[in-house]
Amino acid sequence: MKVPKKHNDWVKAQFDSQRRKADYRNVMIHTRLIENVIEDKADYKENFSVAIKILRFSKRYDGLDKIEKLRKLRNKIVHRIELDKLDEKEINKTRDEMHTLLKEIYKDNLLIKDYFQSKYKIDTTKF
């Protein structure tokens, strides 16, 4: 029986090369990891949108526009998939947009890069 990974090891495993593909699982997991960082830094875990606003208001962090866009794309797939009657082409397009944004955020966003580097020793620029 395979021994389950501890939290830090599991997070690190999400950055392995096979986890960088633009499939739904990877895109959603990585989006949630970024949401967790934002909620942690804002010290507000009730609502991702509000956490982004708290960080914007603090004026301490740049690069929140891409994170806000990622949030909206996630909501499009997770919450609006039935309401908006998304077809497979639109779902795949949205997933691919999210994957592109994740790459940009992991490469350019200092808050995200520093968080994963200090907490997990992960270089997110290789995502």
Query: Does residue 19 lie in a domain region?
Result: no
Q: Tell me 21's DSSP state.
A: S
Query: Does residue 29 lie in a domain region?
Result: yes
- Give the integer Cα–Cα distance in Å for 14 and 34: 12
Confidence of residue 122 (pLDDT cuts 50, 70, 90): very high
Residue 85, CA atoms < 13 Å, CB-side half-sphere: 0
Averaged over 53-67, what is the pLDDT? 94
Q: Which of 22-36, 75-89, 90-104, 109-123 comes out lowest in average pLDDT?
A: 75-89
User: What pLDDT score was predicted for residue 103?
Assistant: 96
Into how many domains does the chain fold?
A: 1
In terms of residue numbers, what domain contains 44? Answer: 24-126
Query: Does residue 105 lie in a domain region?
Result: yes
Taking the alpha carbons at both ends of the chain, their separation in whole angstroms is 30
Query: Does residue 93 lie in a domain region?
Result: yes
- Give the integer Cα–Cα distance in Å for 54 and 48: 10
Q: Which two tokens stand for residue 53?
A: 């606003």
Query: Does residue 1 lie in a domain region?
Result: no
Query: Does residue 17 lie in a domain region?
Result: no
Query: Does residue 10 lie in a domain region?
Result: no
User: What pLDDT score was predicted for residue 106?
Assistant: 97
Q: Which of 12-21, 45-54, 59-68, 116-125 comes out lowest in average pLDDT?
A: 12-21
pLDDT greater at residue 34 or residue 8: 34
Query: Does residue 12 lie in a domain region?
Result: no
- Give the integer Cα–Cα distance in Å for 41 and 77: 25
